Homo-oligomer: A and B are copies of this chain.
Amino acid sequence: MKPNPIAQRIQSSFDQQDFMQTLGAKIEKIEEGKVIISCNFQESLTQQNGFFHAGVMTSIVDSACGYAALTQMPEGKDVLSVEFKMNLLRPAKTPKLIAIGQVIKSGRTLTVCEGWVYNEDQSKLLCKMTATMIAVER
């Protein structure tokens, strides 16, 4: 099986994000236009009620959206978040977050993605993101 160059590029960029290591986040899946990132519960990631902090969910789903956009960009391009909006729907009481980023419109300059953060078995939607990404020269 030959290696997938896009997946390598994304994994390598992800590994350079020290903050993703701080969160203990990892890439679960990379498809054309879609990336899934998970994050296991740790006390160090909690807000005042002992659940995952909204900032943790935002961080991983923003990354999932950015890498989803990157799957559709030419070699040599990188992607930056221009803006995002999060709706926090339920308390993040779960042993593991599953964040999905998916492209809904890709363009030469801008790519719009949607993101979802679910609980461990994906039975509950915890938050919903919409994000705009811009392609930049690496």
Contact = CB atoms under 8 A, between A and B. Distances in A.
A55 to B, nearest CB: 3
A132 B22 contact: no
- Judged by DSSP, the binding face of A is mixed
A48 to B, nearest CB: 4
Q: How large is the interface on A (under 10, 10 to 19, 20 to 34, 35 or more residues)?
A: 35 or more
Interface in A48-79: 48, 53-56, 58-60, 62-63, 78
Interface in A82-111: 82-90, 104-105, 109-110
Contacts of A54: 59, 62, 81
A40 interface: no
A84 B21 CA distance: 25
> How many copies of this chain does one complex carry?
4
A137 to B, nearest CB: 12
Given A54-B81, A81-B54, A16 B48 contact: yes
Given A19-B45, A19-B47, A130-B130, 16 more contacts: A23-B55, A48-B78, A55-B58, A55-B63, A58-B59, A80-B88, A81-B88, A82-B82, A82-B132, A83-B87, A84-B85, A85-B85, A87-B105, A89-B104, A104-B128, A105-B125
